[in-house]
């Protein structure tokens, strides 16, 4: 049986707490149906979809070799954005300062996935951290989703990537299955 998986950059606990505090300020003010649970904040590198355990083992073995020597790097959360229309966005997210290291990591992962036969999304990679999704358009009011980051940038180091198993009916919904440490 295949379960659904994705590869992601995990966030440090203190960053998750700060993001959760920020999103809670808006929870009662914005009509999204689904808000990200604190422990589920992450930066997706590649959504894998339904994958067997055997294929996950193969993937992680190949990634371990491909990422041997890939150095840890810094990221900075410093913006907000949406996917979808301004009036009824599908997703509201935290954005990152451009990072060549993150883009190179994602390309390496995409290449390994393709090499071993895991089909992944063809859309351009847009790294982000989902705050909320599924805008509730049943309300007659007009809402403005904040798109201006007025906080200090949140900086952290990326030391690993994690293979997460999706468990939609649980909280947290994303269970770490395996990880690969990056070189310090």
Please give the positions annotated as active site: 42, 128
Q: In terms of DSSP H, where are the helices of 67-179? A: 100-115
Helix H or strand E encompassing 174: strand 174-181
Residue 128 in contact with residue 95, Cβ under 8 Å? yes
Nearest one of 144, 150, 137, 27 to 82, comparing CA atoms: 144
Q: What 3-state DSSP class applies to 183?
A: strand
Residues near 135 by beta carbon (within 8 Å), at least 6 away in sequence:
31, 32, 33, 84, 88, 89, 90
Helix ranges restricted to H, 39-131: 53-66, 100-115
Q: What is the DSSP string of 149-163?
A: --SPPEEEEE-EEEE
């Amino acid at each position: 049986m295949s379960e659904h998986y994705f590869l992601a950059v995990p966030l440090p606990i203190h960053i998750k707490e700060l993001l959760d505090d920020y999103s809670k300020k808006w929870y009662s003010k914005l009509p999204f149906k689904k808000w990200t649970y604190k422990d589920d904040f992450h930066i997706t590198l590649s959504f894998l979809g339904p994958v067997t355990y055997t294929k996950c083992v193969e993937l992680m073995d190949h990634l371990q070799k491909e990422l041997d020597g890939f150095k840890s790097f810094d990221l900075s959360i410093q913006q907000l954005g949406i996917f979808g229309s301004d009036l009824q966005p599908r997703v509201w997210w935290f954005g990152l300062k451009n990072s060549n290291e993150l883009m190179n990591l994602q390309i390496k992962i995409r290449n390994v996935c393709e090499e071993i036969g895991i089909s992944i999304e063809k859309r351009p990679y847009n790294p982000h951290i989902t705050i909320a999704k599924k805008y509730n358009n049943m309300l007659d009011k007009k809402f403005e989703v904040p798109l201006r980051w007025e906080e200090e940038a949140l900086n952290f180091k990326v030391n690993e990537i994690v293979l997460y198993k999706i468990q939609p009916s649980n909280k947290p919904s994303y269970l770490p299955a395996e990880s690969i440490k990056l070189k310090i």
